[in-house]
Chains A and B, each alone.
Chain A
């Protein structure tokens, strides 16, 4: 079956530091890959996505590249802000009649001023 493994948290950084959250996956077929973010008391919001190998998803300064050879989709941001403090989830989906999202455990990021 499908599975997603992401870096255990929590991660604590100072403002303007560089962020990397590692994510690797196992999937049957050719999945799409996503990063979702969850702010306190909220549901999940899509941060970025990639649908084929070597695609780079990007949004709000965050980036992740779909690496089929290493089955990875690591999240990066060059300079984090206090407002980036949240829980980040890596996820994959397979479409059609088997449509569902498989999530990693989530990584709590805290950014201090």
Chain B
């Protein structure tokens, strides 16, 4: 079956701009989570959506937002980009049961200049 698809793979943006990243989960998965990966902070949880509802949010400023559509596809948006937002953004999909694992996409590498 098809895996988790993230688009685009690479992005270069200027400080102050905004960006939208997209994630298509595995068919049948209703939970989509987003993570930020940086060399200094490691993998940090951004938010999780289940059936179009945000159920859980990490400790990130309000510039980071997301949404999920009825087909479970998800987007995350970062407004007023800062240099520190440069990171690999990973999306994961799952059934969200305690005992099931999350499947990750290849990520979107965002560089803010």
Contacts and interface: CB of A to CB of B under 8 A. Distances in A.
Given A43-B90, A95-B97, A101 B42 contact: no
A105 interface: yes
B104 A44 contact: yes
A46 B98 contact: no
Nearest to B88: A43
A61 B99 CA distance: 22
B56 A98 contact: yes
B99 A99 contact: no
A113 interface: no
Contacts of B97: 95
Task: Describe B's contact surface by its main secondary structure.
Answer: strand
Nearest to B43: A103
B32 to A, nearest CB: 11
Given A42-B106, A43-B105, A46-B101, A99 B45 contact: no
Interface in A94-113: 94-106
A25 interface: no
A32 interface: yes
Nearest to A41: B106
B96 A99 contact: yes
Contacts of A42: 106-107
Nearest to B58: A100
Contacts of A106: 42-43
20 contacts: A41-B106, A43-B104, A43-B105, A51-B98, A51-B99, A95-B96, A95-B97, A97-B55, A97-B56, A99-B31, A99-B48, A99-B55, A99-B94, A99-B96, A99-B98, A100-B33, A100-B56, A100-B58, A101-B92, A105-B42
A-B pairs, top 6 by smallest CB distance, nearest first, are A95-B98, A43-B104, A103-B43, A44-B104, A51-B99, A99-B96
Interface of B: 4, 6, 31, 33, 35, 42-43, 45, 48, 50, 55-56, 58, 90, 92, 94, 96-99, 101-107
